[in-house]
Amino acid sequence: MKRPFVFINAAMSADGKISTYERRQIRISSDADIRRVDELRAGADAIMVGIGTVLADNPGLTVKFGNGNPIRIVVDSMARTPVDAEVITRKGGSTIIAVSKSAPNKRVNALRERVDIIVAGDERISLPELLNELKSKGINRLMVEGGATLNWGLISKGLVDEIYVYIGNMIFGGKEAPTLVDGEGFCELKDTVKLELKDFCRLGDGFVVRWEVKR
Ligand SMILES: NC(=O)c1ccc[n+]([C@@H]2O[C@H](COP(=O)([O-])OP(=O)(O)OC[C@H]3O[C@@H](n4cnc5c(N)ncnc54)[C@H](OP(=O)(O)O)[C@@H]3O)[C@@H](O)[C@H]2O)c1
């Protein structure tokens, strides 16, 4: 199946957490990193997040400093995205909510009045099917901005090409705090996803690393 080039961007604490155990949005990035993320966004055809991130952080997913706004995509099997979520109401690129065939019609119809809907998967979103559909819509470069569960969904299915991580100078702790990649996890070393280090550089009090996913 065809799919766009997919890269994840995330900010995490030095101990690998992307939020606190309360799953509240918390600033990890420096000002310089926010600019870097903005440039990455501006260079993407679309930005994707999971419904968990929409409900926790309510991000607008727009480009702040540059020109042009990528399409915003929410992976949301049961159409739980609130109709007044920033990803819908904030002026920016158009919005697609991806839902499964099991999403309640009432909620899907309320969303359809405001955004485009893609149906992919029976009970949960089929990510390969969704990416195939996005590619056919002309999306060639897809940026994924979390969270931990969506990152696992994509990485575990071999659907990610690159990963950028900003690592901040703080420790959150907490075994319930989301990490860069959650989900079920791999058991055997042979199944783990191998990365090739492509770049790293200091940015403010933290650093950015770019990994390529090995095939
Ligand atoms: N620091 C950072 O860079 C950063 C960035 C983003 C988010 N975050 C943090 O991450 C946390 C949210 O992460 P999260 O793991 O709770 O939620 P998430 O990854 O944003 O969304 C996960 C949800 O996506 C839906 N989904 C549908 N199909 C899926 C599939 N095939 N694979 C995976 N997910 C699928 C599922 O809900 P349904 O079954 O209802 O569809 C799933 O629960 C928040 O604390 C947020 O602050 C941090």
One pLDDT digit (tens) per residue for the chain, 215 residues = 899 999 999 999 999 999 999 998 899 998 889 999 999 999 999 999 999 999 999 999 999 887 789 999 999 999 999 999 999 999 999 999 999 999 999 999 999 999 999 999 999 999 999 999 999 999 999 999 999 999 999 999 999 999 999 999 999 999 999 999 999 999 999 999 999 999 999 999 999 999 999 98
Q: Looking at residue 28, which CATH number applies to its domain?
A: 3.40.430.10
Provide the pLDDT for residue 1. 87
Amino acid symbol at 102: S
Residue 12 Cα: closest atom of ligand 1: 1
- Ligand 1 binding pocket includes 70 (Cβ within 6 Å): no
Which ligand 1 atom minimizes the distance to the CA of 146? 6
Residue-wise pLDDT for 35-92, tens only, equals: 999 999 999 999 999 999 999 999 999 998 877 899 999 999 999 999 999 999 999 9
* pLDDT value, residue 207: 96
Nearest to 60, CA basis, from 145, 169, 141, 122: 145
Quote the CA–CA distance of 131 and 163 in Å, as a whole number.
17
Cα 40 to middle of ligand 1, angstroms: 20
Output the pTM of the full model.
0.98
Is the beta carbon of 23 within 6 A of some atom in ligand 1?
A: yes
Q: Is the CB–ligand 1 distance for residue 36 below 6 Å?
A: no
Distance CA 96, CA 151 (A): 18
| Interval between CA 150 and ligand 1 midpoint (Å) | 5
Does ligand 1 lie within 6 Å of residue 147's CB atom? yes
Ligand 1 centroid to residue 74 C-alpha, Å? 10
Half-sphere exposure of 20 (CA within 13 A, CB side): 7
Q: For residue 8, which amino acid is it?
A: I
Answer whether 99's CB lies under 8 Å from 118's CB: yes
Domain holding 18, by residue range, is 5-213
Res 87: pLDDT: 98
Provide the domain count of the chain. 1
